[in-house]
Amino acid sequence: MNDIAADPSHPRYKSLLLRHLLEQAAEKGMLAASALIAHGRGEAFDYLLGEQTTPSALIATQQAAARLMSAKRPVISLNGNVVALAGREMLLVANALGCPVEINIFYRTPERMTALLNHLEDIKQELNIDVEILGANPDARIPGLEGPRANCTNKGIFSSDVILVPLEDGDRCEALVAMGKFVIVVDLNPLSRSAIMGNLTIVDELTRFAVNLFAAIGEDYELQDIDNDALLSDAHAQIATNATKR
Ligand code: PTJ
């Protein structure tokens, strides 16, 4: 690890650490070429949100936990950035829920799939947990999408009723909603198509969300009717307040 990323007293320590995790993942061949651009866009929105979980994002996270716990066939969809930044927490959540995770990447290559599977298997061994990792052998397709990004597994994404899709592409999010699934999105950009298309959108940084979600699993949060537009409006208002503060 470089010196700055290793120094917790640095004011930008958390941000540098996440960048460093992505650098390491890129070296292992886990990431899409545009992964760092996507992360940079997220960072920009996180600045505007104040780099902390808003009260409304925390409530949305607790609702995500309640939805996942009450689902018949929950699944967590993982892409390169998510595995790199929060693979460990996502596996812990899946273990607590007793559900599979599915690697479902936008820029699909066999080499990336292998690198991501190996990384998750290493975490599983380290944690000594038994979570099913799907995605290596897709046998179903998401209707309405072209090309490899439609690939999924019948056992996982295809037959799920509630799906957690952090940092999802807007088209695929829309296609999953059209399949009748309850789609939980995590995206720092409240203006993104995924954020708007999802049934429940958590506008928060992925690693903060992952810690909060794990803490909420097993708690007794009552399922509420979700007004996703109101959650997005809260995020817009937070950004507007922060942007006009100085
Ligand atoms: O691994 P792959 O092939 O599936 O590709 C993954 C990426 C993320 C590269 C791909 O899905 C992509 O290009 O995504 P987009 O369309 O750039 O969207 C990423 C969204 O995630 C943007 O709206 C960012 O604001 C948001 N984002 C980025 N980093 C974070 C984030 N949201 C929460 N936490 C983050 N750390």
Please give the full DSSP string across 54-106, using - where no structure is assigned.
Answer: -HHHHHHHHHHHHHHHH-SSEEEEE-HHHHHHHHHHHHHHHHHHT--EEE--S
| 132: Cα separation from own chain's centroid | 18
What SS3 state is found at 200?
strand
Number of H helices, E strands in the chain: 9, 8
Q: Could you tell me the distance, in angstroms and rounded to a whole number, from the CA of residue 9 to the centre of ligand 1?
A: 28
Exposed/middle/buried for residue 22 (C-beta within 10 Å: 0-12, 13-18, 19+): buried
Pick the CATH number of 55-245 from 3.40.50.12640, 1.10.10.60, 3.30.1360.120, 2.60.120.10: 3.40.50.12640
pLDDT of 245 reads 79
> Can you give the pLDDT at residue 5?
63
Q: Output the DSSP codes for 130-192.
A: ---EE-SS--EE-TT--SGGGEE-IIIIIT-SEEEEET--HHHHHHHHHTT-EEEEE-S-TTS
Find the 220 Cα to ligand 1 centroid distance in Å.
30
Q: Say which residues have a Cβ less than 8 Å from residue 73's Cβ, sequence separation at least 6.
A: 99, 159, 160, 161, 162
Is there an atom of ligand 1 within 6 Å of 61 CB? no
The answer to whether the pTM exceeds 0.85 is yes
For residue 47, what pLDDT is reported? 93
Whether the CB of 171 sits within 6 Å of ligand 1: no
Hey, is 202 helix, strand or coil? strand
Task: Please give the distance, rounded to the nearest whole angstrom, from the Cα atom of residue 193 to the centre of ligand 1.
Answer: 12
Could you say which DSSP state residue 201 is in?
Answer: E
Half-sphere exposure of 216 (CA within 13 A, CB side): 23
Task: Please answer whether residues 71 and 161 qualify as being in contact, where contact means their C-beta atoms are separated by less than 8 angstroms.
Answer: yes
Q: Is the CB of 105 under 6 A from ligand 1?
A: yes
**The tokens 């999953």 sit on which residue?**
176
pLDDT in the model for residue 12: 82
Report yes or no: 190 and 235 within 8 Å, Cβ to Cβ.
yes
Output the tens digit of pLDDT for each of the chain's 246 residues.
555 566 788 778 898 999 999 999 999 999 999 999 999 999 999 999 999 999 999 999 999 999 999 999 999 999 999 999 999 999 999 999 999 999 999 889 999 999 999 999 999 999 999 999 999 999 999 999 998 889 999 999 999 999 999 999 899 999 999 999 999 999 999 999 999 999 999 999 999 999 999 999 989 999 999 999 999 999 999 999 998 876
